[in-house]
Amino acid sequence: MEFGVFDHLDKNDRPLARYYAERLEVIAAYERAGFYAYHVAEHHLTDLGMAPSPSVFLAAVAARTTRLRFGPMIYAAPLYHPLRLLQEICMLDQLSGGRLDMGFGRGAAAAEIRFFGVDPAQTEQLYEQTVAFILEGMRDGAVTVPEEGGKQRRMPLAIAPLQKPHPPLWMGAGSANSVSEVVRRGYNMLLGQHSLAEETLDQVAQFRNEVTALGRPYNPMEVGVARAVYITEDEAEKIEIPRGPNIKTPPEHTPLADSVQARIATVQPDDISTGDLAPDGVEVMSYRSNVPAIAEFTFRHRDPEFRKRMKEWGAGFIVGGHNYGQGSSREHAALAPLQLGVKAVFAKSFARIHRRNLVAQGIVALTFADEGDYDRAEVGQTWRLPRLRAELAAGSDELAVEIEDTGDRFAAAHDFSEEERQILLAGGLLNHLRGDDTSEG
């Protein structure tokens, strides 16, 4: 096992020249400390990432290190001319003595794609075309390019990669289908930090089994797992961390109470997206580390009064239809409701990743045992889960729900695993990992 660092280069209050110099010093320290690799994200026109040209920044990394592997995570392939990106990659691999890793993606946000005059609907096609051109060029040592008169010409690469046939290529995966796609392409696999430990183990096992079934040897160094880590040694507590104006402390998590009562803050239809809960785009992306600011955008188009109600009431429930939370895997779509005081979401069904993110933040994600009970919900009603903690701890498949206004009762269902129940009892994944599962009563 080896350890590496994934970096966004979030903007802080340092002048940029100083910021870059200090970050490069930190990266050199990573190498001295024995880290294996360093990867940097690509973003545009947002404080989220100060490396809009990963190749430029990584060239500076190459000059300041001798052993550390590094690479983009990822190059937003639809934003590049394929020939230009191919040559940049070959240069970096040569400059670094063969220490480059490659990662390609479609781009993190539709808004950033549009900044380049690219239609987000075309990113899949552009991604495939660009990656195919680059890999073919490195394998063949030549590319086919246009020339005068509309003809095509085969040209040898003036600069080839040092690693043959090309630097290692990483691809993200978050589902069984995407793991199979990584294996099919013959890439290394990167698993995101959203997965629970049991899901990560399942995905690694699937990768190993499918690779060996194809007659290829399994190499554990072809699998990477991203995890956010905060070091709390006594010495580390003395270190002052400079924070820019848009880096705020995330909302606190508290252990699950014995019973939970709140008013219905909003009733939403089918197919509520993560964009409805925490929009993307340049207006919001600068607040990536400022959850209180992002929360001000939650349901702003779907229900403009939602945030006002939550602030007045201090807590609330959300009721939704089918496929609640569909869209991206962004954790902010769970963090923003938590910031506002959402205690539980009742839905006809959930998008898989968003349901998992709700659980990780300690928000109880429940479905209706009888979908007809969705029609009972009205904004302002008070619903109560009278035995929530005891029923979850006992492994009950259904939870009792009482409507205080009418005296009616119904059953809410769930499919929580044993680990997810423990996470909810603790008040979220971080509390669970710290071993804090004490009820507030």
Question: Looking at the predicted structure, is the pLDDT value of residue 64 above 60?
Answer: yes
Q: Is residue 281 very low, low, confident or very high in pLDDT (cuts 50, 70, 90)? A: low
For β-strands 223-225 and 260-267, DSSP reports them as unpaired
The better pLDDT of the pair 280, 367 is held by 367
Question: Looking at the predicted structure, is the pLDDT value of residue 232 above 70?
Answer: no
Q: At what angle do helices 82-95 and 123-140 cross, to 10 degrees?
A: 50
Segment 127-139 mean pLDDT: 94
What domains can be seen in the chain, in order of their start residue? 4-167 (3.20.20.30), 260-434 (3.20.19.10)
Lowest mean pLDDT among 20-29, 247-256, 268-277: 247-256
Work out whether the CA dihedral 72, 77, 79, 82 comes out positive or negative.
Answer: positive
Question: Looking at the predicted structure, is the pLDDT value of residue 433 above 90?
Answer: no
Which stretch of DSSP H or E encloses residue 89?
Answer: helix 82-95
The 10s digit of each residue's pLDDT in 81-127 is 999 999 999 999 999 999 999 999 888 677 788 889 999 889 989 99
Which stretch of DSSP H or E encloses residue 309?
Answer: helix 306-313
Report CA 71 to chain centroid distance, whole Å: 18
Alpha-carbon span 320 to 317, nearest angstrom? 10
pTM of the model: 0.64
Segment 409-419 mean pLDDT: 94
Q: Is residue 243 very low, low, confident or very high in pLDDT (cuts 50, 70, 90)? A: low
The predicted pLDDT at position 168 comes to 94
Q: pLDDT exceeding 90 applies to what percent of the chain?
A: 71
Q: For residue 12, give the 3-state DSSP assignment.
A: coil
The predicted pLDDT at position 436 comes to 65
The predicted pLDDT at position 440 comes to 46
Angle at 178 between CA 129 and CA 131, to 5 degrees: 15
The predicted pLDDT at position 441 comes to 42
- Among 144-153, 164-173, 364-373, 429-438, the range with the most confident prediction by mean pLDDT is 364-373
Alpha-carbon span 330 to 280, nearest angstrom? 9
Q: For residue 280, give the 3-state DSSP assignment.
A: coil
Question: Looking at the predicted structure, is the pLDDT value of residue 200 above 70?
Answer: yes
As a whole number, the mean pLDDT across the chain is: 90
Q: For residue 214, give the 3-state DSSP assignment.
A: coil
Question: Looking at the predicted structure, is the pLDDT value of residue 236 above 90?
Answer: no
Q: Which two tokens stand for residue 417?
A: 């695993």
Alpha-carbon span 423 to 431, nearest angstrom? 8
Alpha-carbon span 159 to 91, nearest angstrom? 7
